Chain A
Amino acid sequence: MTGFLFQRLIQSAVVLAVMSFVIYWLMGLMPGDPIDLMISADPKITSEDAARLRALYGLDKPITERYLNWLGAAVGGDFGFSRLYAKPVPEALLPALANTVRLLGITLCLSLLIGLPAGMAAAIRPYSKTDYTINLLAFAGISLPAFWLALLLIIVFSVFLGVLPAGGVAALGGDGFWDQAKYLVLPVANLTIASVGGHTRYMRAAMIEALRQDYIRTARAKGAGPARVVLGHALRNALIPVVTIVSLDFGFLFSGALITETVFAYPGMGKLIFDAIMGNDYNLALVALLFVTLLILIGNLLADLAYAWLDPRISYR
């Protein structure tokens, strides 16, 4: 097990190193650079000034050399300065990360708390009225475009009813728990409605598959009641495929939800990455994307560990 963990950590480090170069290189391919933005903002800058600025920031050097310079600094803990936020990169990143973890953490918990039991309920009697109702709702959630639903929620709850704020994270001076919580309601509802259908469908499929197995017949033959059959024998087997989906959500949890964050003016990771790329903020975009990569790798590792915990047939050496 320790051998496996060690091997996976090395693999992850290699993936991260390769990804850092790929992201760096892709951003170098983007049209324009930070100096172009400065020029468009200040017409008095001459092309000689621009060339001097490029040389000053090292932007005139070949991409591999720039990458190695960046890598050396990053390994030493210096992630650079965010042009857009006028702060060191970690200081720009952390508040957005905290917002996103709060928003998507609550969403993921809610979605699993609703979706997994709903999927199980649907699977116990496939093609029954309960199943059809749950499926209909799940497909409705999957099919509704997030931006449209977000607008609808704002119109109903903020404009017509006026009970919830339309966007933002907090009012000035509103530091109490409930003051902030009410800003989360609409974005959380929007994202939960979008993701709960998927979780329901995955749980339903996995549960139907598990309930079809011979060992379920064995469990019933030894006198197990319905609750024991479903929760004791089928669920543990059905959770194995569901864990895959949830571990993929783990990466999504930190990468943000651009559309929802934009509509609700919620300063999270999705919006941060988007703005950083649009604003040619190389340092911020690079670190944010790499951070998301790292968390996806961690999510996959957690999934592998969860498999071994759930299924004794899987063991790692």
Chain B
Amino acid sequence: MPEVLETSQDSAAAALEVRQLEVVFATDASPLKAADKVSFAVPAGRTLGLVGESGCGKSVTALAILGLVPPPGLITGGQILFNGDDLPSLPERRMEDIRGARISMIFQEPMTALNPVFSIGSQVAEALRIHRRTSRPEAWKAAVEMLARVGIADAAARAGDYPHQLSGGMRQRAMIAMALICRPEVLIADEPTTALDVTTQAQILDLMMAMQRDLGLAILFISHDLGVISEIADEVAVMYAGAIVEQAPAGELFERPLHPYTRGLIETLPGAGPRLPRLAAIAGQVPDLGALPRGCRFSDRCPLADDECGASEPTLAAAGERRRVACWKAAP
């Protein structure tokens, strides 16, 4: 099987394209590969869901796009193409111009992700003032408008509130306002609904989809929750132990998962799919990145694994027209 470098979409239409990205954390023991040859593209106006268990490398991939991988992490290979530029090779000053203006990010826990000592209005206005020549009162006015637009009632008064005075949902709305006030092309959402209760979750997802329609946003939506992913994503990439193991349009992935790991994940959704016997492997843990099994990285948990799987690692290969899977046992 040939290794597929091109993603399933036409890369020319992609707002953001990640090619063969490698992120390594230098540790005292051995270097850990948190992202291993990760490739995907997010077209404008569409949503790519990046799904996987905790520690599989989703967040590191997202932070790598913005050049914010915390030390001792380092991008050691691959490209991140945005607007004709390879982001990791840009100088820090140019990255600062891109962050928050053209590629924005929102985070899981809006309580800790917002600065506790500044009002939400000033934090939203700051995002604008960093990137555009705006006077303080103008920026404040724009921030209030943006807060109203993301559904904060009585925004003019709420803008003066501090993060601790707002509910979790309101805080996440403020985060979204902050991320979108400069009208970026790409929004990276790292578990944006995980800390919220279910009704608020649905509201935030609706808001994100509405903003996507308005602004033509390309969204990279990271979650461990397949239920949330199924609601918002057009296309889904499943990540396991630092590598993408399967990628497919959302509908096809949920209907007919090819990788045993994806199947296991879908099985864990309550009330989903035919009642197959639950995969024992999914009860295990994501392996230590420093001690991946030989061959396929899922082989020690996979019910279908045989000698071939333990001998060599399957590469991510085309499986049908718009699908890719990295599995020796996946039926084409």
Contact = CB atoms under 8 A, between A and B. Distances in A.
Contacts of B162: 312-313
Interface string A220-232: 1111110010001
A219 B107 CA distance: 12
Nearest to B95: A223
| Most chain B beta carbons < 10 A, residue from A214, A223, A237, A312 | A223
B178 interface: yes
A223 B100 CA distance: 5
B98 A220 contact: no
A11 interface: no
Interface string A229-249: 000110011000000000000
B272 interface: no
Given A221-B66, A222-B179, A215 B114 contact: yes
Is the interface on chain B under 10, 10 to 19, 20 to 34, or 35 or more residues? 20 to 34
A222 B116 contact: no
A228 B117 contact: no
B112 A214 contact: yes
Interface residues of A, number: 21
A213 interface: yes
Given A222-B130, A223-B130, A217 B100 contact: no
A144 interface: no
Interface in B99-139: 99-101, 104-105, 107, 109, 112-119, 126-127, 130-131
Contacts of B93: 225
A218 interface: yes
B184 to A, nearest CB: 10
A49 interface: no
Nearest to A239: B117
A224 B66 contact: no
Contact of A223 (B97, B107, B118): B97
A310 interface: yes
Contact of B113 (A214, A236, A237, A313): A214
A313 B112 CA distance: 13
Contacts of A223: 96-101, 127, 130-131
Contacts of B97: 223
Given A221-B105, A223-B131, A215 B115 contact: yes
Nearest to B119: A312
Given A237-B116, A311-B116, A313-B116, A222 B164 contact: no
A224 B116 CA distance: 17
A221 B116 contact: no
Contacts of A228: 130
Contact of A222 (B100, B117, B118, B119): B100
A308 to B, nearest CB: 11
Given A222-B179, A225-B96, A213 B112 contact: yes
Contact of A313 (B100, B104, B130, B164): B164
A66 to B, nearest CB: 51
Contact of B126 (A214, A221, A222): A222
B330 to A, nearest CB: 36
Contacts of B99: 220-223
Given A224-B130, A313-B164, A219 B115 contact: yes
Interface string B170-189: 00000100110000000000
Nearest to A240: B117
A223 B98 CA distance: 7
B109 A214 contact: yes
Contacts of B105: 221
B113 A222 contact: no
Nearest to B68: A220
A232 B117 CA distance: 10
A221 B114 CA distance: 12
A232 B131 CA distance: 16
Nearest to B108: A214
Interface string B121-159: 000001100110000000000000000000000000000
24 contacts: A214-B107, A214-B113, A215-B115, A217-B68, A218-B113, A218-B114, A218-B115, A219-B115, A221-B99, A221-B104, A221-B105, A221-B107, A222-B104, A222-B126, A223-B96, A223-B97, A223-B100, A223-B101, A223-B127, A224-B96, A224-B130, A232-B126, A237-B117, A310-B117
Given A222-B127, A223-B97, A225-B93, 18 more contacts: A213-B112, A214-B113, A215-B113, A218-B114, A219-B115, A220-B68, A221-B100, A221-B104, A222-B99, A222-B179, A223-B100, A223-B101, A228-B130, A232-B126, A237-B115, A312-B116, A313-B116, A313-B162
